[in-house]
Structure formats: structure tokens, C-alpha cells
């Protein structure tokens, strides 16, 4: 009986210590239910006391009352094991509640974004359509060829804005619903494609400087990187100074086996200090120089987060903007 008592006491004590370590290590908690601790120490004290009494010459006492001592001792063990099991179930329930709360918070945020998105999209889609319809009516009524050409040019500009907005909506949708597909990335091709699409956006000639250093093959999601470069380069073009001749964009990329360090720098109008914290918000427009949707930088940050990257903006008003992006290299995961 003495040997069994001591063994069970020690085992229960060890189980309590293990629970404490597990909860501290994995759940960032530093406490075990008080009942578990009390039962463990009671059993340890009982075991030590019985062992001491036995060695002091009270062996006959255990021969006479051993069964009663066992009947008193084993219910405590069973109760302690029960509290241990109950604690595990409560812990699982608590973790499930925390996860559910986190998911609810994400759902509330998404619903708010969706409400705002639907309202703004419907407005921004309708505005250029109404403008084009009005310009069409004016063109029909006019008999002056020059005046009609003016109306058609304005209509063309309105439809281009509509087209750009639809492209941004599609980018937003693709980013939200497309899986990450790792492919070999040709940075120079992405840059050239984006620059060719937007370099005459505002009828300006802009000098592009590229410095690309690739130490190892760089793999990541082609779709999202295309969206990122398209938006960042188009912004660098759109927000140039209208009265400045030496307009330029500098792009440097250093890629190794861990990540790609991307810097896009322009000498445009820059960003106001009070707008810097707002640039990544949905539908934020910090300048009246263009009539964009305000979705671009929001989509850029969302794409970068999807590929586990980071983005930082540095800007001074009337001096230009520097965008710094870090994107992980997924090449090791594909080989």
C-alpha cells in the first residue's frame, strides 16, 4: 500500500507539473486550476506521511486499517483525475471561443467594407456613364465639328476612367478569391509592361531608371505582383508635377534566396503629412490632381499581405514619394 501510495502521488505531481508547462508554453497561461494543485499536494503529503509512519514502527496500523486508508486515498486520486480532464475540456472550449470571437471580428470588418464598397462602386460606376450620356446628347445637338470633337474627347476621358475603375474592381476580386500560385518572376518584364501601359497616361514623357539585381531565381505569385507593380507605377506617373519637365521614376530591386527588396521612387507631388496614415484605406483619394477610384493603394497593401510581404511609404510634399516593398522568395518551397 505504501509503495502504491507514493508512486501514485509522484505520478499525479508530475502530471500537474506537465500541465503547468504545457499551458505556459502553448497557451501563454501560468496557472493550473487550484483544485488540481490542492489534490496533488494532499496526495503527496498523504504519501509522505504514510511512509514516515511506516518507518517509525506503525506497520501493524497499516495491516489493520490498510483497506480503509486505501478507500480514503483512491477517491482523491479519481477526483483529481476528473478535475484534470474537466480542465482540459474547459481549455478547449476557451480556445474555441477565442477563435470564434476572432472570426466574428473579421466578419464584421468585412461586412463594413462590403457596405462601403457597394455604395462607392455604384456611385463611381454611374458617374462616368452619366457624363458620357450627357456628352453624347450635346454632340447630337451640336452642328459645330470642333465642338463635337471636344465633346468626344471628354467622353473618351470619361470612358477611360470607367475602364480603369473596372480594372481595379477586377484586381480586387482576383486578389480576394485567387489562390497563391508560385511562379518564376521576371521583374523587368513586369516593370516594362506596367510602364508601357501608363507612361502616356497624362500625355507626359517620364524617364524610367531601373536597377535590378537578382542573385537567385525569385518565385512568388505572378498575378499579385503584376497588380502591385501596375498600381505603384501608375501612381508614380499620375502624381507627377504638371509644371516640372524632369519627371522621373527610379526602380531598384535586389532579390536573394530570402526576399526581394523593391524601391520605387518618384519626384512627384508627394503626400501631405496628415494623409500618410490614410493612403492604404479603401477609396481614399489624397489629391485632386487625378480622378481615380481610391482603390489602388488599398489593393496593393492587400496583395502584399496575401504574399506575406510588407510595404512602407516615405514622402515629402512637393518633393516626391518612395515606396519600399519586401516580398518573400518562395523558390525554396517549390524545389
Q: Residue 314 belongs to a domain with what CATH number? A: 3.30.565.10
19-24 long-range contacts, Cβ below 8 Å, gap at least 24? 19/84, 19/87, 23/91
Query: How many residues are there in the chain?
Result: 335
Are residues 208 and 87 part of one domain? no
Global model pTM greater than 0.85: no
The answer to whether position 134 is within a domain reads no
The answer to whether position 128 is within a domain reads no
Instruction: State how far the Cα of 193 lies from the Cα of 191, in Å rounded to an integer.
Output: 5
Q: What is the pLDDT of residue 201?
A: 65
Number of helices and strands in the chain (H, E): 8, 7
Are residues 80 and 221 part of one domain? no
Are residues 85 and 222 part of one domain? no
Are residues 328 and 190 part of one domain? yes
Instruction: State how far the Cα of 304 lies from the Cα of 325, in Å rounded to an integer.
Output: 8
Q: 48, 70, 104 — which closes off a domain?
A: 104
Residue 234: HSE in the Cβ half-sphere, 13 Å Cα cutoff = 24
Q: What is the pLDDT of residue 329?
A: 95
The answer to whether position 112 is within a domain reads no
Q: What is the pLDDT of residue 30?
A: 45
Domain residues for the domain of 317 are: 181-334
The answer to whether position 220 is within a domain reads yes
Q: What total of structural domains would you count in the chain?
A: 2
The answer to whether position 146 is within a domain reads no
The answer to whether position 173 is within a domain reads no
Q: 72, 104, 136 — which closes off a domain?
A: 104
Q: What is the pLDDT of residue 229?
A: 95
The answer to whether position 149 is within a domain reads no
Q: What is the pLDDT of residue 233?
A: 92
pLDDT values of the chain reduced to their tens digit, one per residue, 335 residues: 445 545 555 555 555 555 555 544 544 444 445 555 555 556 556 555 655 555 555 555 555 555 455 555 555 556 656 666 666 777 778 888 888 888 888 888 778 777 777 766 776 777 778 888 888 888 888 888 988 898 888 888 888 878 877 887 888 888 888 888 899 999 999 999 888 877 766 666 788 999 999 999 999 999 999 999 999 998 898 888 877 778 899 999 999 999 999 999 999 999 988 888 888 887 787 776 666 677 889 889 999 999 999 999 999 988 899 999 999 999 887 66
Instruction: State how far the Cα of 182 lies from the Cα of 184, in Å rounded to an integer.
Output: 7
Are residues 228 and 95 part of one domain? no
What count of other Cβ atoms lies within 10 Å of the Cβ of residue 78?
9
Instruction: State how far the Cα of 86 lies from the Cα of 82, in Å rounded to an integer.
Output: 6
Are residues 330 and 225 part of one domain? yes
The answer to whether position 176 is within a domain reads no
Q: 104, 130, 160 — which closes off a domain?
A: 104
Amino acid at each position: 500500500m505504501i509503495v502504491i501510495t507514493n508512486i501514485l502521488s509522484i505520478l499525479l505531481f508530475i502530471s500537474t507539473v506537465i500541465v503547468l508547462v504545457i499551458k505556459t508554453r502553448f497557451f501563454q497561461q501560468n496557472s493550473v486550476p487550484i483544485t488540481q494543485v490542492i489534490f496533488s499536494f494532499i496526495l503527496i503529503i498523504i504519501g509522505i506521511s504514510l511512509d514516515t509512519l511506516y518507518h517509525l514502527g506503525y506497520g501493524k496500523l497499516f495491516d489493520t486499517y490498510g483497506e480503509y486508508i486505501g478507500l480514503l486515498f483512491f477517491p482523491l486520486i479519481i477526483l483529481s483525475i476528473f478535475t484534470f480532464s474537466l480542465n482540459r475540456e474547459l481549455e478547449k472550449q476557451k480556445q474555441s471561443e477565442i477563435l470564434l470571437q476572432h472570426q466574428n471580428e473579421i466578419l464584421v470588418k468585412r461586412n463594413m467594407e462590403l457596405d462601403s464598397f457597394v455604395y462607392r462602386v455604384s456611385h463611381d460606376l454611374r458617374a462616368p456613364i452619366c457624363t458620357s450620356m450627357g456628352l453624347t446628347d450635346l454632340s447630337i445637338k451640336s452642328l459645330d465639328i470642333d465642338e463635337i470633337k471636344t465633346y468626344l474627347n471628354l467622353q473618351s476621358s470619361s470612358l477611360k476612367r470607367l475602364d480603369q475603375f473596372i480594372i481595379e474592381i477586377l484586381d480586387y476580386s482576383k486578389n480576394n478569391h485567387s489562390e497563391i500560385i508560385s511562379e518564376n518572376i521576371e521583374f523587368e518584364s513586369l516593370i516594362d509592361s506596367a510602364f508601357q501601359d501608363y507612361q502616356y497616361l497624362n500625355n507626359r514623357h517620364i524617364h524610367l531608371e531601373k536597377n535590378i539585381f537578382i542573385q537567385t531565381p525569385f518565385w512568388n505569385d505572378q498575378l499579385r505582383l503584376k497588380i502591385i507593380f501596375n498600381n505603384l507605377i501608375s501612381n508614380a506617373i499620375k502624381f507627377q508635377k504638371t509644371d516640372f519637365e524632369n519627371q522621373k521614376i527610379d526602380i531598384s530591386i535586389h532579390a536573394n534566396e530570402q526576399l526581394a527588396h523593391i524601391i520605387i521612387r518618384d519626384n512627384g507631388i508627394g503626400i501631405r503629412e496628415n494623409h500618410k496614415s490614410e493612403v492604404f484605406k479603401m477609396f481614399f483619394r489624397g489629391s485632386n490632381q487625378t480622378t481615380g477610384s481610391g482603390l489602388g493603394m488599398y489593393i496593393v497593401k492587400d496583395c502584399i499581405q496575401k504574399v506575406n510581404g510588407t510595404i512602407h511609404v516615405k514622402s515629402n510634399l512637393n518633393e516626391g514619394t518612395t515606396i519600399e516593398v519586401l516580398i518573400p522568395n518562395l523558390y525554396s518551397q517549390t524545389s
